[in-house]
Structure 1
Amino acid sequence: MNSSVIIFPGSNCDRDMDVALKKFGFKNKMVWHDDNKLPKSDLIVLPGGFSYGDYLRCGSIAGKSKIIQSVIDFANSGGLVLGICNGFQILTETGLLKGVLQQNKNIEFICKNIFVKINNNKNKFFENINKDVLELHIAHNEGNYFCTEDELKSLEDNNQIAAYYCNSDGEIDEKSNPNGAIKNIAGIFNEKKNILGMMPHPERMIDQSLSGEDGSIFFENLLKNLK
Protein backbone atom coordinates (compact mmCIF):
# COMPACT_ATOMS: atom_id res chain seq x y z
CA MET A 1 0.00 0.00 0.00
CA ASN A 2 1.22 3.49 -0.88
CA SER A 3 0.93 6.44 1.48
CA SER A 4 1.95 10.09 1.31
CA VAL A 5 2.65 12.48 4.19
CA ILE A 6 2.25 16.18 3.44
CA ILE A 7 4.95 18.43 4.95
CA PHE A 8 4.24 22.05 5.80
CA PRO A 9 6.62 24.64 7.23
CA GLY A 10 6.34 23.98 10.95
CA SER A 11 5.30 20.32 10.73
CA ASN A 12 7.05 18.40 13.49
CA CYS A 13 5.36 15.00 13.44
CA ASP A 14 5.92 14.27 9.75
CA ARG A 15 8.98 12.06 10.36
CA ASP A 16 7.23 10.25 13.23
CA MET A 17 4.37 9.47 10.87
CA ASP A 18 6.78 8.35 8.15
CA VAL A 19 8.50 5.98 10.59
CA ALA A 20 5.17 4.58 11.80
CA LEU A 21 3.78 3.99 8.32
CA LYS A 22 6.93 2.28 7.08
CA LYS A 23 7.20 0.15 10.21
CA PHE A 24 3.85 -1.44 9.48
CA GLY A 25 4.34 -1.96 5.76
CA PHE A 26 3.28 1.19 3.92
CA LYS A 27 5.45 2.45 1.08
CA ASN A 28 5.51 6.07 2.14
CA LYS A 29 6.53 9.25 0.34
CA MET A 30 7.02 12.72 1.80
CA VAL A 31 5.29 15.48 -0.18
CA TRP A 32 6.21 19.16 0.14
CA HIS A 33 3.31 21.60 0.57
CA ASP A 34 4.36 23.62 -2.49
CA ASP A 35 4.00 20.67 -4.86
CA ASN A 36 1.02 20.61 -7.21
CA LYS A 37 0.39 16.88 -7.54
CA LEU A 38 0.21 13.89 -5.24
CA PRO A 39 2.04 10.66 -5.99
CA LYS A 40 -0.10 7.55 -6.44
CA SER A 41 -1.45 6.90 -2.95
CA ASP A 42 -3.88 4.72 -1.05
CA LEU A 43 -3.65 7.00 1.99
CA ILE A 44 -2.84 10.69 2.44
CA VAL A 45 -1.75 11.93 5.88
CA LEU A 46 -1.73 15.49 7.18
CA PRO A 47 0.62 15.26 10.18
CA GLY A 48 0.77 17.13 13.47
CA GLY A 49 2.87 20.17 14.21
CA PHE A 50 2.54 23.92 13.94
CA SER A 51 2.07 24.57 10.24
CA TYR A 52 3.13 28.11 9.38
CA GLY A 53 3.73 28.72 13.08
CA ASP A 54 -0.03 28.52 13.81
CA TYR A 55 -0.38 32.14 12.67
CA LEU A 56 -3.91 33.48 12.17
CA ARG A 57 -5.63 30.22 13.18
CA CYS A 58 -4.15 26.74 13.48
CA GLY A 59 -4.13 25.19 10.01
CA SER A 60 -5.63 28.21 8.27
CA ILE A 61 -2.60 29.05 6.10
CA ALA A 62 -1.81 25.40 5.41
CA GLY A 63 -5.39 25.01 4.21
CA LYS A 64 -4.57 27.40 1.34
CA SER A 65 -1.29 25.79 0.25
CA LYS A 66 -0.76 24.49 -3.31
CA ILE A 67 -1.00 20.78 -2.50
CA ILE A 68 -4.32 21.11 -0.66
CA GLN A 69 -6.47 21.20 -3.79
CA SER A 70 -4.98 17.85 -4.79
CA VAL A 71 -5.76 16.53 -1.30
CA ILE A 72 -9.35 17.78 -1.59
CA ASP A 73 -9.73 16.17 -5.03
CA PHE A 74 -8.29 12.91 -3.69
CA ALA A 75 -10.68 12.96 -0.72
CA ASN A 76 -13.71 13.83 -2.86
CA SER A 77 -12.92 10.90 -5.14
CA GLY A 78 -13.12 8.54 -2.16
CA GLY A 79 -9.44 8.39 -1.25
CA LEU A 80 -8.50 7.80 2.38
CA VAL A 81 -7.28 10.92 4.23
CA LEU A 82 -5.99 10.99 7.82
CA GLY A 83 -5.39 14.25 9.68
CA ILE A 84 -3.68 14.09 13.09
CA CYS A 85 -3.66 17.07 15.48
CA ASN A 86 -2.66 20.02 13.25
CA GLY A 87 -3.77 17.84 10.34
CA PHE A 88 -7.25 17.67 11.91
CA GLN A 89 -7.21 21.45 12.22
CA ILE A 90 -6.28 21.75 8.53
CA LEU A 91 -9.14 19.44 7.54
CA THR A 92 -11.66 21.67 9.32
CA GLU A 93 -10.12 24.77 7.72
CA THR A 94 -10.58 23.28 4.24
CA GLY A 95 -14.18 22.34 4.98
CA LEU A 96 -13.49 18.63 4.50
CA LEU A 97 -14.60 18.13 8.11
CA LYS A 98 -17.20 19.99 10.15
CA GLY A 99 -16.50 22.18 13.17
CA VAL A 100 -13.45 23.97 14.53
CA LEU A 101 -10.63 23.34 17.00
CA GLN A 102 -10.54 26.01 19.71
CA GLN A 103 -8.08 26.77 22.49
CA ASN A 104 -8.04 24.23 25.29
CA LYS A 105 -10.45 25.00 28.12
CA ASN A 106 -7.63 25.62 30.63
CA ILE A 107 -5.81 27.89 28.15
CA GLU A 108 -2.64 25.84 28.32
CA PHE A 109 -0.67 23.43 26.16
CA ILE A 110 -1.38 19.78 27.01
CA CYS A 111 1.15 16.99 26.46
CA LYS A 112 0.25 13.61 27.96
CA ASN A 113 -1.14 10.15 27.33
CA ILE A 114 -4.91 9.83 27.23
CA PHE A 115 -7.51 7.16 26.41
CA VAL A 116 -10.00 7.19 23.57
CA LYS A 117 -13.02 4.99 22.96
CA ILE A 118 -13.69 4.01 19.37
CA ASN A 119 -17.27 4.91 18.51
CA ASN A 120 -17.56 3.75 14.90
CA ASN A 121 -15.66 0.79 13.46
CA LYS A 122 -17.60 0.47 10.21
CA ASN A 123 -14.87 2.12 8.16
CA LYS A 124 -11.37 1.47 6.80
CA PHE A 125 -9.69 3.13 9.77
CA PHE A 126 -11.16 1.04 12.58
CA GLU A 127 -12.88 -1.98 11.03
CA ASN A 128 -11.67 -5.27 12.59
CA ILE A 129 -9.66 -3.46 15.29
CA ASN A 130 -9.38 -5.69 18.36
CA LYS A 131 -9.71 -3.04 21.09
CA ASP A 132 -12.43 -0.54 21.87
CA VAL A 133 -10.23 1.64 24.09
CA LEU A 134 -6.80 2.84 22.97
CA GLU A 135 -4.12 4.67 24.92
CA LEU A 136 -2.69 7.40 22.71
CA HIS A 137 -0.85 10.69 23.15
CA ILE A 138 -1.94 14.30 22.81
CA ALA A 139 0.17 17.44 22.42
CA HIS A 140 -1.82 20.54 21.54
CA ASN A 141 -2.96 23.98 22.58
CA GLU A 142 -6.03 24.12 20.35
CA GLY A 143 -7.67 20.71 20.58
CA ASN A 144 -11.03 21.77 21.96
CA TYR A 145 -13.41 20.52 19.27
CA PHE A 146 -16.54 22.62 18.78
CA CYS A 147 -19.42 22.63 16.33
CA THR A 148 -22.93 24.03 16.16
CA GLU A 149 -25.93 22.14 17.53
CA ASP A 150 -27.06 21.34 13.99
CA GLU A 151 -23.60 20.08 13.05
CA LEU A 152 -23.44 17.95 16.21
CA LYS A 153 -26.83 16.42 15.47
CA SER A 154 -25.68 15.66 11.94
CA LEU A 155 -22.46 14.06 13.22
CA GLU A 156 -24.41 11.91 15.65
CA ASP A 157 -27.18 10.99 13.21
CA ASN A 158 -24.68 9.94 10.52
CA ASN A 159 -22.39 8.13 12.99
CA GLN A 160 -19.51 10.48 12.12
CA ILE A 161 -18.02 10.69 15.61
CA ALA A 162 -14.96 8.46 15.35
CA ALA A 163 -13.75 8.45 18.97
CA TYR A 164 -14.41 9.98 22.36
CA TYR A 165 -11.99 10.86 25.16
CA CYS A 166 -12.56 8.39 27.99
CA ASN A 167 -10.87 6.83 31.03
CA SER A 168 -8.97 3.54 31.00
CA ASP A 169 -12.24 1.64 31.52
CA GLY A 170 -13.89 3.30 28.53
CA GLU A 171 -16.14 5.57 30.57
CA ILE A 172 -16.85 8.89 28.86
CA ASP A 173 -17.09 11.68 31.40
CA GLU A 174 -15.93 15.22 32.11
CA LYS A 175 -12.88 14.06 34.07
CA SER A 176 -11.54 12.23 31.03
CA ASN A 177 -11.97 15.25 28.74
CA PRO A 178 -8.51 16.89 28.54
CA ASN A 179 -9.35 19.99 26.51
CA GLY A 180 -13.05 20.77 26.85
CA ALA A 181 -14.09 19.27 23.51
CA ILE A 182 -17.85 19.17 23.04
CA LYS A 183 -19.24 15.76 24.03
CA ASN A 184 -15.64 14.54 24.66
CA ILE A 185 -15.10 14.30 20.90
CA ALA A 186 -11.53 13.25 20.01
CA GLY A 187 -12.04 12.61 16.30
CA ILE A 188 -14.63 12.74 13.54
CA PHE A 189 -15.29 11.44 10.02
CA ASN A 190 -16.81 13.00 6.96
CA GLU A 191 -20.14 11.53 5.84
CA LYS A 192 -18.51 8.92 3.57
CA LYS A 193 -16.10 7.87 6.38
CA ASN A 194 -13.04 8.12 4.11
CA ILE A 195 -11.68 11.17 5.96
CA LEU A 196 -10.65 10.94 9.61
CA GLY A 197 -9.46 13.84 11.74
CA MET A 198 -8.38 13.29 15.33
CA MET A 199 -6.28 15.10 17.89
CA PRO A 200 -4.53 12.06 19.52
CA HIS A 201 -1.28 10.84 17.95
CA PRO A 202 -1.18 7.10 17.13
CA GLU A 203 2.29 7.51 15.56
CA ARG A 204 3.75 8.31 19.00
CA MET A 205 2.58 4.99 20.42
CA ILE A 206 4.29 2.34 18.31
CA ASP A 207 7.03 1.06 20.62
CA GLN A 208 6.47 -0.39 24.09
CA SER A 209 9.96 0.57 25.23
CA LEU A 210 9.39 4.23 24.34
CA SER A 211 5.74 5.04 24.99
CA GLY A 212 3.22 2.31 24.27
CA GLU A 213 1.89 0.17 21.46
CA ASP A 214 -1.77 1.01 20.98
CA GLY A 215 -0.80 3.12 17.99
CA SER A 216 0.63 -0.06 16.48
CA ILE A 217 -2.83 -1.61 16.65
CA PHE A 218 -4.23 1.32 14.69
CA PHE A 219 -1.63 1.18 11.88
CA GLU A 220 -1.55 -2.62 11.59
CA ASN A 221 -5.31 -2.70 11.34
CA LEU A 222 -5.45 0.14 8.81
CA LEU A 223 -2.96 -1.59 6.51
CA LYS A 224 -4.93 -4.87 6.63
CA ASN A 225 -8.14 -3.04 5.79
CA LEU A 226 -6.56 -1.41 2.75
CA LYS A 227 -5.17 -4.63 1.26
Structure 2
Amino acid sequence: MTAAFALLLRDLRLGLRQSIDVAIVVLFFLAAGILFPFAVGPAPGTLSQIAGGVVLVMAALAALLSLDRLYQPDYEDGSLDGLILSPLSLEVVALMKALSHWLSTGLPLMVAAPLLALMLNLPAEAYLPMLAALGLATPILSLLGGLGAALTLGSRRGGVLLTFIILPLYVPVLIFAVAAIDAARLGFAGQQNFLFILAGLALATLALTPWATASALRQAVG
Protein backbone atom coordinates (compact mmCIF):
# COMPACT_ATOMS: atom_id res chain seq x y z
CA MET A 1 0.00 0.00 0.00
CA THR A 2 2.87 2.36 0.83
CA ALA A 3 4.46 1.69 -2.56
CA ALA A 4 1.16 2.38 -4.32
CA PHE A 5 0.74 5.75 -2.59
CA ALA A 6 4.40 6.56 -3.31
CA LEU A 7 3.72 5.96 -7.01
CA LEU A 8 0.60 8.12 -6.84
CA LEU A 9 2.47 10.97 -5.14
CA ARG A 10 5.30 10.68 -7.66
CA ASP A 11 2.91 11.04 -10.59
CA LEU A 12 1.11 13.94 -8.93
CA ARG A 13 4.41 15.73 -8.27
CA LEU A 14 5.42 15.26 -11.89
CA GLY A 15 2.04 16.62 -12.92
CA LEU A 16 2.44 19.67 -10.71
CA ARG A 17 5.79 20.42 -12.31
CA GLN A 18 3.90 20.61 -15.60
CA SER A 19 0.96 22.53 -14.17
CA ILE A 20 0.54 24.26 -17.52
CA ASP A 21 -0.87 20.96 -18.81
CA VAL A 22 -3.69 21.10 -16.25
CA ALA A 23 -4.38 24.70 -17.21
CA ILE A 24 -4.49 23.75 -20.89
CA VAL A 25 -7.03 20.99 -20.19
CA VAL A 26 -9.31 23.35 -18.25
CA LEU A 27 -8.92 26.18 -20.77
CA PHE A 28 -9.73 23.81 -23.65
CA PHE A 29 -12.80 22.61 -21.75
CA LEU A 30 -14.06 26.17 -21.27
CA ALA A 31 -12.97 27.64 -24.61
CA ALA A 32 -14.39 24.81 -26.71
CA GLY A 33 -17.62 24.83 -24.70
CA ILE A 34 -18.31 28.51 -25.19
CA LEU A 35 -18.03 28.14 -28.97
CA PHE A 36 -21.41 26.41 -29.04
CA PRO A 37 -23.47 29.59 -28.52
CA PHE A 38 -21.85 30.99 -31.66
CA ALA A 39 -22.84 27.88 -33.61
CA VAL A 40 -26.41 27.32 -32.41
CA GLY A 41 -27.32 30.90 -31.49
CA PRO A 42 -27.57 32.71 -28.16
CA ALA A 43 -31.21 31.81 -27.44
CA PRO A 44 -31.35 30.85 -23.71
CA GLY A 45 -33.82 28.01 -24.33
CA THR A 46 -31.62 26.40 -26.97
CA LEU A 47 -28.49 26.69 -24.85
CA SER A 48 -30.29 25.24 -21.84
CA GLN A 49 -31.29 22.18 -23.86
CA ILE A 50 -27.77 21.38 -25.02
CA ALA A 51 -25.88 22.48 -21.88
CA GLY A 52 -25.66 19.03 -20.27
CA GLY A 53 -24.43 17.38 -23.44
CA VAL A 54 -21.88 20.10 -24.13
CA VAL A 55 -20.42 19.90 -20.61
CA LEU A 56 -20.04 16.11 -20.74
CA VAL A 57 -18.67 15.93 -24.28
CA MET A 58 -16.17 18.72 -23.60
CA ALA A 59 -15.08 16.92 -20.42
CA ALA A 60 -14.49 13.72 -22.39
CA LEU A 61 -12.50 15.51 -25.09
CA ALA A 62 -10.48 17.46 -22.54
CA ALA A 63 -9.63 14.24 -20.70
CA LEU A 64 -8.18 12.85 -23.93
CA LEU A 65 -5.58 15.61 -24.09
CA SER A 66 -3.40 14.20 -21.32
CA LEU A 67 -3.85 10.47 -21.87
CA ASP A 68 -0.84 10.05 -24.15
CA ARG A 69 1.41 11.16 -21.26
CA LEU A 70 0.01 8.61 -18.84
CA TYR A 71 2.51 5.85 -19.66
CA GLN A 72 4.64 7.20 -22.52
CA PRO A 73 7.26 9.04 -20.39
CA ASP A 74 7.76 5.96 -18.18
CA TYR A 75 7.97 3.79 -21.30
CA GLU A 76 10.62 6.02 -22.88
CA ASP A 77 12.89 6.42 -19.83
CA GLY A 78 12.67 2.78 -18.72
CA SER A 79 10.68 3.45 -15.54
CA LEU A 80 7.90 1.19 -16.77
CA ASP A 81 10.28 -1.78 -16.88
CA GLY A 82 11.16 -1.09 -13.25
CA LEU A 83 7.48 -0.94 -12.30
CA ILE A 84 6.82 -4.27 -14.00
CA LEU A 85 9.75 -5.89 -12.18
CA SER A 86 8.87 -4.31 -8.82
CA PRO A 87 6.90 -6.20 -6.15
CA LEU A 88 4.01 -3.81 -6.74
CA SER A 89 1.23 -5.45 -8.73
CA LEU A 90 0.89 -4.05 -12.23
CA GLU A 91 -2.88 -3.90 -11.72
CA VAL A 92 -2.29 -1.57 -8.78
CA VAL A 93 0.09 0.48 -10.93
CA ALA A 94 -2.66 0.86 -13.54
CA LEU A 95 -5.14 1.88 -10.84
CA MET A 96 -2.79 4.48 -9.37
CA LYS A 97 -2.05 5.89 -12.81
CA ALA A 98 -5.77 6.26 -13.50
CA LEU A 99 -6.27 7.88 -10.10
CA SER A 100 -3.48 10.39 -10.73
CA HIS A 101 -5.03 11.22 -14.11
CA TRP A 102 -8.41 11.81 -12.48
CA LEU A 103 -6.93 13.99 -9.73
CA SER A 104 -5.01 16.11 -12.23
CA THR A 105 -7.68 16.21 -14.96
CA GLY A 106 -11.12 14.99 -13.90
CA LEU A 107 -11.23 16.89 -10.62
CA PRO A 108 -10.23 20.27 -12.16
CA LEU A 109 -12.85 19.73 -14.86
CA MET A 110 -15.50 19.18 -12.18
CA VAL A 111 -14.46 22.45 -10.54
CA ALA A 112 -14.69 24.30 -13.87
CA ALA A 113 -17.95 22.66 -14.99
CA PRO A 114 -20.34 25.01 -13.12
CA LEU A 115 -18.74 28.00 -14.88
CA LEU A 116 -19.33 26.44 -18.30
CA ALA A 117 -22.86 25.43 -17.27
CA LEU A 118 -23.56 29.00 -16.21
CA MET A 119 -22.39 30.32 -19.58
CA LEU A 120 -24.66 27.79 -21.30
CA ASN A 121 -27.68 28.76 -19.18
CA LEU A 122 -28.12 25.39 -17.47
CA PRO A 123 -31.01 25.63 -14.94
CA ALA A 124 -29.95 25.83 -11.30
CA GLU A 125 -31.78 22.62 -10.36
CA ALA A 126 -29.54 20.64 -12.73
CA TYR A 127 -26.21 21.72 -11.19
CA LEU A 128 -26.06 19.07 -8.45
CA PRO A 129 -27.06 16.23 -10.81
CA MET A 130 -24.44 17.53 -13.25
CA LEU A 131 -21.72 17.38 -10.59
CA ALA A 132 -22.93 13.93 -9.49
CA ALA A 133 -22.85 12.71 -13.09
CA LEU A 134 -19.36 14.15 -13.59
CA GLY A 135 -18.22 12.64 -10.29
CA LEU A 136 -19.22 9.20 -11.57
CA ALA A 137 -18.33 9.66 -15.23
CA THR A 138 -14.87 11.22 -15.01
CA PRO A 139 -13.29 8.29 -13.08
CA ILE A 140 -14.66 5.98 -15.78
CA LEU A 141 -13.10 8.19 -18.44
CA SER A 142 -9.74 8.03 -16.66
CA LEU A 143 -9.87 4.24 -16.24
CA LEU A 144 -10.87 3.64 -19.85
CA GLY A 145 -8.33 6.22 -20.98
CA GLY A 146 -5.60 4.38 -19.10
CA LEU A 147 -6.55 1.19 -20.92
CA GLY A 148 -6.41 2.97 -24.26
CA ALA A 149 -3.05 4.54 -23.41
CA ALA A 150 -1.65 1.11 -22.55
CA LEU A 151 -3.02 -0.46 -25.74
CA THR A 152 -1.39 2.19 -27.94
CA LEU A 153 1.87 2.41 -25.99
CA GLY A 154 4.84 2.52 -28.34
CA SER A 155 2.68 2.81 -31.45
CA ARG A 156 3.36 5.32 -34.17
CA ARG A 157 0.72 8.05 -34.14
CA GLY A 158 -0.53 6.56 -30.89
CA GLY A 159 -2.51 9.70 -30.06
CA VAL A 160 -4.73 9.33 -33.12
CA LEU A 161 -5.13 5.61 -32.54
CA LEU A 162 -5.94 6.24 -28.89
CA THR A 163 -8.78 8.56 -29.86
CA PHE A 164 -10.37 5.99 -32.16
CA ILE A 165 -10.13 3.28 -29.51
CA ILE A 166 -11.41 5.30 -26.57
CA LEU A 167 -14.21 7.46 -27.97
CA PRO A 168 -16.59 4.53 -28.71
CA LEU A 169 -16.08 3.31 -25.12
CA TYR A 170 -16.97 6.77 -23.82
CA VAL A 171 -20.33 6.86 -25.59
CA PRO A 172 -22.42 4.81 -23.09
CA VAL A 173 -20.97 6.83 -20.20
CA LEU A 174 -21.88 10.10 -21.87
CA ILE A 175 -25.39 8.91 -22.74
CA PHE A 176 -26.34 8.07 -19.16
CA ALA A 177 -24.59 11.11 -17.68
CA VAL A 178 -26.39 13.51 -20.04
CA ALA A 179 -29.67 11.68 -19.43
CA ALA A 180 -29.32 12.29 -15.68
CA ILE A 181 -28.72 16.01 -16.25
CA ASP A 182 -31.60 16.34 -18.71
CA ALA A 183 -33.96 14.51 -16.36
CA ALA A 184 -33.14 17.04 -13.64
CA ARG A 185 -33.48 19.94 -16.06
CA LEU A 186 -36.92 18.79 -17.18
CA GLY A 187 -38.08 17.96 -13.67
CA PHE A 188 -38.37 14.19 -14.20
CA ALA A 189 -38.09 11.93 -11.18
CA GLY A 190 -35.92 9.27 -12.84
CA GLN A 191 -32.59 11.05 -12.67
CA GLN A 192 -31.46 8.78 -9.82
CA ASN A 193 -31.89 5.74 -12.07
CA PHE A 194 -29.38 7.12 -14.57
CA LEU A 195 -26.95 7.91 -11.75
CA PHE A 196 -27.33 4.35 -10.43
CA ILE A 197 -26.51 3.02 -13.89
CA LEU A 198 -23.45 5.27 -14.00
CA ALA A 199 -22.41 3.99 -10.57
CA GLY A 200 -22.74 0.42 -11.86
CA LEU A 201 -20.62 1.27 -14.89
CA ALA A 202 -18.04 2.85 -12.60
CA LEU A 203 -17.83 -0.27 -10.44
CA ALA A 204 -17.60 -2.55 -13.47
CA THR A 205 -14.88 -0.38 -15.00
CA LEU A 206 -12.99 -0.29 -11.72
CA ALA A 207 -13.13 -4.08 -11.48
CA LEU A 208 -12.12 -4.86 -15.08
CA THR A 209 -9.90 -2.17 -16.54
CA PRO A 210 -6.88 -2.52 -14.19
CA TRP A 211 -6.51 -6.16 -15.25
CA ALA A 212 -6.88 -5.35 -18.95
CA THR A 213 -4.49 -2.39 -18.65
CA ALA A 214 -1.89 -4.50 -16.86
CA SER A 215 -2.08 -7.12 -19.61
CA ALA A 216 -1.68 -4.45 -22.29
CA LEU A 217 1.35 -2.99 -20.49
CA ARG A 218 3.02 -6.40 -20.32
CA GLN A 219 2.43 -6.86 -24.05
CA ALA A 220 3.84 -3.41 -24.84
CA VAL A 221 7.02 -3.92 -22.82
CA GLY A 222 7.48 -7.55 -23.68
**TM-score in terms of structure 1 length:** 0.28
Higher radius of gyration, 1 or 2: 2
- Larger RCO: 1 or 2 (CA < 8 Å, sep 6+): 2
* Structure with greater proportional helix content: 2
